[in-house]
């Protein structure tokens, strides 16, 4: 029996690489994973996109180890969430593959989650984060991205302690995403240079804790633009066109702007001068969900 799970990407409020504390919110762009058990002992991973499937295989293997079950598993993904773009595609993939594999096993084996094995939300998120770290697709484990993707809405986190400091449903703002014609892998980012930002990123994080999310996102974005050599004019143009917040997402290359219905067309027009494309979406408050079993 096939299990289908949908997991949203997320956009950055505070990038956790410099301080270990971060914040992100879910967006309505998704990785969809289909998982089913097979009669052989192989883990087979396929994707519609031309991407490395190592992360998917590690996720499945870690779930099987946790359940102490040997089984063949076939996993297939499709996505409208751009990869290597700073929009948490790795966290969304980990969340979706882990949850889909768990439900495929639960449907086949007589397992009682409350007694035989711990399977609450935090346990699943941590299993996904462990898999991402093992695969080398993240620097901090991206607990902020993973929690926003899994739970939906806005999360503020201590990534080093894997602790959710605050979690809120968020207004379904218009989210505009500018994507240049290039990709950027988080693991290739200059960590030492980003660590230099720590005192100022801490100021942005304090604003997030106060509830000043728009200010925090914008300040964080400009700081990381400087460290990672991205053009801050992209965010400034969005702000000039009426965005209430704009900044770099993750380690780039995507920029995110928050806008209302009136300003969205103006921001999209302002970004037309840059090579690449603009995606219009909204905040996701649903998180990672089983679609069909």
pLDDT in tens, 72-90: 999 999 999 998 899 999 9
Q: Are 13 and 220 in contact (CB under 8 A)?
A: yes
3-state secondary structure of 187: helix
Its pTM stands at 0.94
- What is the chain's length? 293
Share of the chain above pLDDT 90, in %: 80
User: Domains in the chain, please, with CATH?
Assistant: 3-169+285-292 (3.30.230.10), 174-282 (3.30.70.890)
Between 16 and 108, residue with greater pLDDT: 16
pLDDT digits (tens, 9 = 90+) for 18-36: 999 999 999 999 999 999 9
Between CA 293 and CA 282 the distance in angstroms is 27
Q: At a CB cut-off of 8 Å and minimum separation 6, what does 190 contact?
A: 227, 228
Collapse the DSSP code of 251 into the 3-class scheme (helix H, G, I; strand E, B; otherwise coil) and give the result: coil
Confidence (pLDDT) at 245: 98
User: Residues near 138 by Cβ (< 8 Å), separated by ≥ 6?
Assistant: 90, 91, 129, 132, 186, 187
Question: What mean pLDDT do residues 183-196 have?
Answer: 78
Cβ-count burial 98-110 (b if 16+ within 10 Å, e if not):
bbbbbbbbbeeee
pLDDT tens-digit profile of 143-180? 999 999 999 999 999 999 999 999 999 987 899 999 99
Vertex 51, ends 46 and 55: CA angle to 5°? 75
CA distance 290 to 148: 16
* Encoded tokens for 287: 């998180």
85 three-class SS: coil
User: Comparing C-alpha atoms, which of 5, 15, 9 is closest to residue 152?
Assistant: 9
How distant is the alpha carbon of residue 122 from its chain centre?
Answer: 16
Q: Which pLDDT value is given to residue 187? A: 64
């Amino acid at each position: 029996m096939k299990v289908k799970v949908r997991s949203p990407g997320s956009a950055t409020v505070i990038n956790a690489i410099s301080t270990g504390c971060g914040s992100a919110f879910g967006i309505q762009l998704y990785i969809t994973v289909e998982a089913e058990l097979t009669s052989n002992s192989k883990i087979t991973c396929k994707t519609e996109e031309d991407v490395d499937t190592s992360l998917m295989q590690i996720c499945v293997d870690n779930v099987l180890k946790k359940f102490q079950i040997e089984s063949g598993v076939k996993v297939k993904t499709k996505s409208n969430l751009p990869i290597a773009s700073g929009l948490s595609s790795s966290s969304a993939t980990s969340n979706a593959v882990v949850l889909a594999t768990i439900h495929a096993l639960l449907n086949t084996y007589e397992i009682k989650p409350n007694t035989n094995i711990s399977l609450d939300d935090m346990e699943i998120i941590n299993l996904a984060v462990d898999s991402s770290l093992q695969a080398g697709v993240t620097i901090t484990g991206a607990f902020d991205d993973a929690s926003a993707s899994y739970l939906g809405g806005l999360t503020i986190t201590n990534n080093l302690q894997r602790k959710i400091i605050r979690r809120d449903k968020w207004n379904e703002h218009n989210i505009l995403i500018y994507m240049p014609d290039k990709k950027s892998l988080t693991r290739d980012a200059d960590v030492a240079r980003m660590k230099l930002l720590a005192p100022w990123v801490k100021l942005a994080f304090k604003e997030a804790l106060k509830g000043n999310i728009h200010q925090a996102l914008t300040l964080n974005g400009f700081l990381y633009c400087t460290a990672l050599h991205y053009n801050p004019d992209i965010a400034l143009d969005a702000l000039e066109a009426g965005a209430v917040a704009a900044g770099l997402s993750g380690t780039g290359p995507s920029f995110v702007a928050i806008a209302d219905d009136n300003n969205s067309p103006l921001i999209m027009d302002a970004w037309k001068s840059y090579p690449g494309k603009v995606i219009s979406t909204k905040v996701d408050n649903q998180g990672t969900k089983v679609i069909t079993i």
